[in-house]
Structure 1
Amino acid sequence: MKNLGDLMKQARELQGKMEQLQTELETLEVQGSAGGGMVNVTMTGKGEVVKVAIDPSLMKENEREILEDLIVAASADAKGKAERAAQDKMKELTGGLQLPPGLGL
């Protein structure tokens, strides 16, 4: 039964580390950009957009569609970075061990 007790202790420790990781991801910010840095989107590690910065030169009526496309591209860039950061933190936590589906972040 000692092995079961050790396993339960490890599971509780992992759960605590997972909760800490969730908190870290909420405060982690990544920045995605598009258009050579003319549009920047800042996003949390959980995928929440917290800021959009647009170069004033893009604020022209006839370039509205370009601006919209750049915002989408910058958001996608930030989301990819946030997902990679979350995966990297998960690998640190689990030592590279793949968790079963549904147990990730």
Structure 2
Amino acid sequence: MRDLMGMMKQAKELQERMQQMQAELETIEVDGAAGGGLVSVRVTAKGECKAVRIDPSLMKPEEAEIVEDLIVAALADARSKAERVMQDKMKSLTGGLALPPGLNLF
């Protein structure tokens, strides 16, 4: 019974830390880029797009498709960086707690 109480206490602590981390992830921003920096985006660690920047040299009607592809690539770059940030935060959060492998808490 004592182990069950300890596990419940750990679960409650983990839940509280996860809530704090969720709030923190909304404030962390990462940048993604494509086309050698001609297109860049800024997203939160939770994947919300905050800004898009397009170099003026790309603002030609005949290059619209290229710009669109670069935006998609920049967003993919930023999202992968955001995912790494979330994984790092999760590792620090669950440091002493044994969780099943592959358990995705987000």
Alignment TM-score > 0.5, same fold: yes
Specify the alignment match of 1:91 in structure 2: 91
TM-superposed deviation, 1:4: 2.0
Unaligned runs of 5+ in 1: none
2:88 is the alignment partner of 1:80: no
Aligned to 1:5: 5
What is the aligned partner in structure 2 of residue 26 from structure 1? 26
**Structure 1 residue 10 displacement after superposition:** 1.1
Task: For residue 103 of structure 1, report the CA deviation from its aligned partner.
Answer: 5.0
Q: When the two structures are superposed, what TM-score results if normalisation uses the length of structure 1? A: 0.90
Identity %: 61
Moved over 6 A (4+): none
TM-score of the two chains, using structure 2 as the length reference: 0.89
For the aligned residue pairs, the C-alpha RMSD in angstroms reads: 1.7
Aligned length: 105
Amino acid across the alignment from 1:93: L
**Paired letter, 2:48:** E
Match of 2:57 in 1: 57
Change in Cα spacing, 1:98 to 1:77, as seen in structure 2 (3 Å) is farther
Q: 1:13 to 1:99 in 2, by over 3 A?
A: same
Who is 1:68 aligned against?
Answer: 68
5+ residue gaps, structure 2: none
